[in-house]
């Protein structure tokens, strides 16, 4: 073909060339249509039409057609062999159809000596494989020596010469036969032995099976299986096969995390929570600040009319690929496009997301709670599973007993074994529970819980277990009988704890009184565990009630304390109880909050009745509780904010004149310090109180007074904290103690300790305010007051501390700088300018300006137009071709008709001539 075209080109007839005149010359533009060969191309087109349209016309209105599809049949260049190869290749290729590209040799049927493998494989006797092709099979199992002697006639001659009485040929043959028979018998025997062994092994395996796969199968057995097994009773092969096939596989679970990993996760979680806490510390205004600079300059088109009309092609991008075929677009953009609006985005950031986070956080926490609960439950479940398994085994055994008559004897043996093993397991369980009881820990309760949950179906067995346990207990643990009694007693109370609503409080008291703090804690723990919310729906509610009762209990604990021992004991108990408050509050956040708020309200109401008197410890200790449960650093919190306000109110409006009020005041100040430790907030009430205390211990005359803030008064009030005599030898200078809270007189020691601690706290408050310019204004009076304290009277340690704090405060204030408050410099607002719309990939097409859909549409439309034009043209040409063909046919048929007419005329004229001739002859 190429040669032909080349030849064509060579003898290009100049008359055939048609040159298209160019009207406008564009530089760099390649023109395809500057010259053409109209004759040639027309001929081409006609030829093409002849091959397609012409053929079609020919077969038009004809029903049958013969198509020869044999490969290479029409190609005469191929030899016969080539054709065969091509056809074989096509056949093979056909086999690799799409549906089994991975199944390479599946459809090929392999044959062996004409038989397919399937025909050979009958699995009749799988054991007979190796024995048959033993060593030296080639001679039908004959000995080497016999072969060497008897074959090829070689032996006869030599043997006849032998002196030991030569055997005849017949003898030899007989010997041979006997030998082979003997060997066959031996082999047979051996075979039977192995068969027996295999069978035995099989049966033993069957027995062992349930032990090896320790999964409860009762539930898993599907209905179909049951039906099948009923239908095919006795067919143990099928049964076993199915069992093997449907053997429960281990469910995939999260891999055990290594301790480091767990720790890391824990740490990460805590960090996250800490971050959130710090966010909450900011007020709304502060939180809003960092976000202000977020919005970036948006592109503005030169055609922007400033009518806030948003073009929605913000997310449009040009998809382009690099030379490796990877998209040039960043991953996340692609992702965004594939999953549009997968995640809502908030522009104003923190406020919204924080709330979202809060939700998440909560759910997270809950999830973690759940996890914890799960972990607890797991152990319960394990035991339960064991129980169930044991029962399953029993059931299995009994059923198989019934079913398999023929195997009864062996089965019986097995059941014996099982009973033994079961007993072992049971005893193990008992052992565990015994251990539990010994360690006085929670596991027993877990077991109880599991028992509760497992409900009535295994009640009996468990009860039996329990009795066993108790008996065991009594036998094994006489030495700690007292505790045991406690245990039982408390267990009874626990079990019936929530039976009567009215008696819960009493019962709690019953449960907790007369025990050491740690025993109390253990009992409580047990109580809480046995009503774990994961076990029953209303346990959550019960536990929240328990929370309320515990609050009441603590209230009673601290009510009307008079002596030091009582206070100490109460605090020790409180110390142990506090973690439980935390747990309970976490189980039901809403109700815990409600209870605490109600408590606060009640206490506050009580306080407002006599606002000059400092509330007793039964109010104050709850502030400690709140700080343990709730975050104190939040800007605003439903619980901590009211409580801190309450404390401030006490400190600002109460009268502080005696040991009772001053010690409680100091306690409150330390609590407020704790509340503000993280957030570094400023609590005027506490600072003023410290100022008052310093005032009470300082020497101030009427002539040069240092001002104090109410509730302390400049005049009239007695300076109760001033030391009257020298106490340098006093070994004070320690932390305040619980004894100070119940002291009824202001002793020297009390005074000294008071000053010591208040000065130390003052320092902390001072440091909290370090970044404030107003620090000086706040703490100036304190410094003055500290200078007026007669330190010579105090023990050295205290005097030193006071001096040190004063020095520190002075030094800090000395170097303090004051920057005038200035508004945050705002960047001058730039004139709005039109920026060029820079596209990363420039195509030059106008359509790139359009949106994606529009561009696509325009492209398709233009393509459609073009194609339409072309198609119409083609159709026109086709029509012309068909017309030409038809006219040609018509002309041809006309010619033929004319010829025929001529012929007819000719014949007729001849006939006429002959007739005329005849007529003439007549």
Range 552-611, binding other proteins (CB under 8 A): 568, 571-572, 574-576, 578-579, 582-583, 585-586, 589-590, 593, 597, 600-601, 604
DSSP track, 842-907: ----GGGGS-HHHHHHHHHHHHHHHHHHHHHHHHHHHHHHHHHHHHHHHHHHHHHHHHHHHHHHHH
Tell me the closest approach of the beta carbon of residue 678 to other proteins, in angstroms: 5
Contact with other proteins (CB under 8 A) among 79, 355, 424, 845: 355
Tell me the closest approach of the beta carbon of residue 616 to other proteins, in angstroms: 15
If we measure between CA atoms, which residue out of 696, 732, 727, 699 comes closest to residue 711?
696
Residue whose token pair is 């994961």: 534
In the bound state with other proteins, the residue whose beta carbon lies nearer, of 437 and 543, is 543
Tell me the closest approach of the beta carbon of residue 642 to other proteins, in angstroms: 4
Please give the Cα distance from 563 to 129 (Å, whole number): 96
Tell me the closest approach of the beta carbon of residue 305 to other proteins, in angstroms: 31
337 binds other proteins (CB under 8 A): no
- Compose the 284-303 pattern: x for residues touching other proteins by CB under 8 A, - for all others: xx------------------
826 binds other proteins (CB under 8 A): no
818 binds other proteins (CB under 8 A): yes
Rounded alpha-carbon distances, angstroms, from residue 159 to 101, 139, 165, 167:
68, 21, 9, 8
- Window 741-780: residues binding other proteins (CB under 8 A): 757, 760-761, 764, 769, 772-778
In the bound state with other proteins, the residue whose beta carbon lies nearer, of 396 and 583, is 583
Contact with other proteins (CB under 8 A) among 512, 683, 799, 805: 683
Tell me the closest approach of the beta carbon of residue 777 to other proteins, in angstroms: 6
Are 351 and 288 spatial neighbours (Cβ–Cβ below 8 Å)?
yes
In the bound state with other proteins, the residue whose beta carbon lies nearer, of 434 and 670, is 670
Contact with other proteins (CB under 8 A) among 46, 441, 536, 635: 635
- Window 778-807: residues binding other proteins (CB under 8 A): 778
Q: Which of these ranges, 37-45, 96-104, 137-145, 677-685, lies near other proteins under the rule CB under 8 A?
A: 677-685
- Window 259-278: residues binding other proteins (CB under 8 A): 270, 273, 277
641 binds other proteins (CB under 8 A): yes
Tell me the closest approach of the beta carbon of residue 546 to other proteins, in angstroms: 17
Tell me the three state secondary structure of residue 699: coil
For CA atoms 751, 756, 759, 761, give the dihedral sign.
Answer: negative
Strand partners, 327: 321
Please give the Cα distance from 551 to 531 (Å, whole number): 18
Give ∠ CA 194-414-433 in degrees, rounded to 5.
135
Please give the Cα distance from 911 to 914 (Å, whole number): 5
- Window 644-673: residues binding other proteins (CB under 8 A): 644-646, 648-649, 652-653, 666-667, 670-673
Buried b (16+ CB within 10 A) or exposed e, 657-672: eebbbbbbbbbbbbbb
Tell me the closest approach of the beta carbon of residue 327 to other proteins, in angstroms: 42
Tell me the closest approach of the beta carbon of residue 775 to other proteins, in angstroms: 8
Q: Which of these ranges, 248-256, 445-453, 539-547, 814-822, lies near other proteins under the rule CB under 8 A?
A: 814-822
- Window 361-390: residues binding other proteins (CB under 8 A): 361-362, 365
Please give the Cα distance from 224 to 36 (Å, whole number): 79
Please give the Cα distance from 751 to 733 (Å, whole number): 10
DSSP code of residue 832: P
Please give the Cα distance from 386 to 447 (Å, whole number): 12
Contact with other proteins (CB under 8 A) among 450, 530, 627, 661: 627
Contact with other proteins (CB under 8 A) among 92, 435, 735, 796: 735
Please give the Cα distance from 468 to 289 (Å, whole number): 68
Strand partners, 19: 35
- Compose the 77-106 pattern: x for residues touching other proteins by CB under 8 A, - for all others: ------------------------------
Q: Which two tokens stand for residue 801?
A: 């501390």
In the bound state with other proteins, the residue whose beta carbon lies nearer, of 281 and 746, is 281
Rounded to 10°, the helix 684-697/775-788 angle is 20
- Window 122-151: residues binding other proteins (CB under 8 A): none
Q: Which of these ranges, 16-24, 126-134, 295-303, 643-651, lies near other proteins under the rule CB under 8 A?
A: 643-651
Strand partners, 321: 327
Tell me the closest approach of the beta carbon of residue 734 to other proteins, in angstroms: 7
Tell me the closest approach of the beta carbon of residue 764 to other proteins, in angstroms: 7
In the bound state with other proteins, the residue whose beta carbon lies nearer, of 400 and 738, is 738
Tell me the three state secondary structure of residue 112: strand
Tell me the closest approach of the beta carbon of residue 776 to other proteins, in angstroms: 7
Contact with other proteins (CB under 8 A) among 114, 165, 255, 820: 820
Tell me the closest approach of the beta carbon of residue 716 to other proteins, in angstroms: 12
Count of residues touching other proteins (by CB under 8 A): 107
Tell me the closest approach of the beta carbon of residue 612 to other proteins, in angstroms: 12
In the bound state with other proteins, the residue whose beta carbon lies nearer, of 285 and 322, is 285
> Distance of alpha carbon 498 from its chain centroid, rounded?
37
> Distance of alpha carbon 556 from its chain centroid, rounded?
46
Contact with other proteins (CB under 8 A) among 388, 631, 797, 848: 631
Tell me the closest approach of the beta carbon of residue 249 to other proteins, in angstroms: 39
57 binds other proteins (CB under 8 A): no
Are 637 and 631 spatial neighbours (Cβ–Cβ below 8 Å)?
yes
Q: Which of these ranges, 68-76, 353-361, 386-394, 434-442, lies near other proteins under the rule CB under 8 A?
A: 353-361
- Window 709-728: residues binding other proteins (CB under 8 A): 709-711, 713-714
Contact with other proteins (CB under 8 A) among 77, 144, 704, 819: 819
Q: Which two tokens stand for residue 221?
A: 């057995």
In the bound state with other proteins, the residue whose beta carbon lies nearer, of 393 and 775, is 775
Are 637 and 613 spatial neighbours (Cβ–Cβ below 8 Å)?
no
> Distance of alpha carbon 26 from its chain centroid, rounded?
64
DSSP track, 546-561: HHHHHHHHHHHHTTT-
Backbone angles phi, psi at 676, to 5 degrees: -100, 5
Q: Which of these ranges, 51-59, 507-515, 552-560, 635-643, lies near other proteins under the rule CB under 8 A?
A: 635-643
Tell me the closest approach of the beta carbon of residue 340 to other proteins, in angstroms: 30
DSSP code of residue 635: S
First to last CA, the chain: 74
Who contacts 756 (Cβ-Cβ below 8 Å, separation ≥6)?
732, 733, 734, 797, 798, 801, 802
Give ∠ CA 752-755-757 in degrees, rounded to 5.
105
Please give the Cα distance from 619 to 622 (Å, whole number): 6
């Amino acid at each position: 073909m190429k040669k032909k075209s080349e030849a064509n080109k060579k003898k290009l007839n100049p008359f055939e060339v048609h040159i298209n005149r160019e009207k406008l010359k564009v530089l760099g533009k390649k023109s395809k249509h500057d010259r053409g060969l109209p004759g040639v191309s027309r001929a081409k087109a006609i030829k093409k039409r002849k091959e397609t349209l012409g053929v079609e016309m020919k077969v038009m209105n004809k029903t049958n057609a013969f198509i020869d599809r044999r490969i290479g049949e029409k190609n005469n260049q191929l030899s016969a062999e080539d054709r065969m190869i091509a056809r074989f290749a096509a056949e093979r290729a056909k086999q690799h159809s799409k549906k089994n590209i991975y199944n390479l040799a599946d459809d090929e049927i392999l044959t062996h000596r004409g038989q397919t493998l399937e025909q050979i494989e009958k699995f009749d006797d799988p054991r007979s494989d190796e024995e048959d092709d033993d060593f030296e099979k080639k001679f039908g199992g004959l000995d080497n020596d016999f072969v060497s002697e008897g074959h090829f006639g070689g032996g006869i001659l030599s043997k006849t010469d032998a002196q030991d009485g030569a055997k005849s040929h017949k003898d030899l043959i007989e010997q041979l036969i006997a030998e082979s028979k003997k060997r066959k018998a031996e082999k047979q025997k051996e075979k039977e032995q192995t068969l027996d062994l295999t069978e035995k092994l099989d049966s033993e395996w069957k027995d062992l099976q349930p032990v090896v796969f320790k999964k409860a199968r009762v539930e898993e057995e599907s209905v179909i299986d049951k039906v099948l097994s009923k239908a095919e009773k006795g067919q143990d092969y099928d049964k076993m096969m199915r069992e093997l096939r449907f053997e429960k596989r281990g469910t995939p679970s999260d891999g055990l995390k290594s301790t480091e990993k767990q720790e890391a996760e824990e740490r990460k979680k805590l960090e996250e929570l800490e971050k959130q806490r710090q966010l909450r510390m900011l007020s709304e205004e502060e939180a809003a600040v960092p976000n202000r600079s977020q919005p970036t300059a948006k592109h503005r088109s030169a055609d922007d009319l400033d009518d806030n009309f948003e073009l929605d092609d913000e997310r449009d991008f040009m998809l382009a690929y690099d030379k490796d075929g990877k998209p040039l677009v960043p991953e996340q953009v692609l992702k965004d496009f594939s999953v549009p609006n997968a995640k809502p985005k908030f522009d104003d950031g923190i406020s919204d997301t924080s709330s979202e986070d809060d939700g998440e956080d909560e759910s997270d926490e809950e999830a973690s709670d759940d996890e914890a609960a799960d972990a607890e439950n797991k152990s319960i479940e394990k035991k339960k599973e064991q129980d169930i398994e044991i029962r399953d085994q029993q059931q299995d055994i009994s059923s198989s007993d019934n079913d398999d008559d023929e195997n009864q004897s062996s089965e019986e043996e097995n059941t014996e074994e099982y009973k033994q093993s079961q007993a072992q397991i049971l005893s193990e369980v008992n052992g565990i529970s015994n251990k539990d009881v010994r360690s006085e820990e929670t596991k027993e309760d877990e077991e109880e819980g599991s028992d509760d949950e497992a409900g009535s179906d295994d009640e009996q067995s468990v009860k039996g277990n329990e009795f066993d346990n108790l008996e065991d207990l009594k036998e094994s643990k006489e030495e700690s009988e007292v505790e045991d009694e406690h245990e039982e007693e408390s267990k009874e109370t626990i079990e019936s704890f929530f039976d009567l609503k009215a008696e819960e409080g009493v019962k709690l008291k019953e449960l907790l009184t007369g025990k050491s703090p740690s025993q109390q804690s253990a009992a409580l723990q047990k109580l809480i565990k046995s009503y774990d919310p994961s076990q029953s729906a209303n346990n959550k509610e019960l536990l929240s009630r328990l929370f309320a009762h515990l609050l009441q209990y603590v209230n009673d604990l601290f009510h009307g304390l008079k002596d030091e021992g009582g206070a100490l004991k109460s605090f020790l108990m409180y110390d142990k109880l506090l973690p439980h408050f935390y747990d309970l509050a976490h189980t039901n956040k809403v109700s815990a909050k409600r209870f605490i708020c109600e408590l606060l309200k009640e206490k506050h109401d009580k306080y407002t009745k006599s606002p000059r008197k400092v509330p007793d410890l039964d109010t104050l200790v709850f502030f400690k509780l709140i700080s343990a449960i709730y975050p104190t650093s939040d800007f605003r919190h439903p619980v901590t904010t009211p409580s801190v306000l309450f404390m401030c109110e006490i400190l600002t409006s109460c009268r502080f004149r005696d040991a009772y009020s001053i010690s409680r005041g100091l306690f409150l100040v330390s609590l407020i310090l704790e509340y503000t430790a993280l957030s570094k907030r400023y609590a005027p009430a506490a600072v003023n109180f410290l100022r008052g205390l310093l005032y009470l211990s300082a020497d101030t005359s009427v002539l040069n007074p240092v001002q104090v803030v109410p509730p302390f008064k400049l005049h009239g009030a007695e300076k109760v904290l001033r030391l009257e005599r020298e106490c340098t030898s006093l070994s004070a200078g320690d932390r305040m103690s619980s004894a100070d809270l119940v002291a009824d007189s202001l002793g020297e020691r009390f005074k000294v300790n008071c000053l010591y601690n208040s000065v130390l706290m003052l320092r902390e408050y001072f440091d909290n305010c370090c970044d404030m310019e107003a620090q000086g204004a706040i703490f100036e009076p304190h410094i003055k007051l500290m200078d007026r304290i007669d330190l010579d009277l105090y023990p050295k340690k205290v005097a030193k501390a006071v001096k040190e704090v004063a020095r520190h405060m002075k030094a800090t204030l000395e170097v303090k700088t004051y920057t005038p408050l200035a508004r945050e410099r705002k960047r001058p607002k730039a004139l709005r300018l039109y920026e060029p719309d820079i596209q990363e990939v420039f195509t030059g097409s106008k359509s790139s300006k359009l949106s994606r859909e529009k561009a696509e549409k325009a492209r398709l439309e233009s393509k459609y137009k073009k194609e339409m034009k072309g198609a119409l043209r083609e159709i026109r040409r086709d029509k012309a071709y068909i017309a030409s063909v038809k006219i040609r046919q018509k002309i041809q048929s006309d010619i033929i008709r004319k010829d025929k007419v001529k012929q007819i005329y000719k014949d007729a004229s001849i006939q006429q001539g002959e007739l005329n001739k005849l007529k003439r002859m007549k």
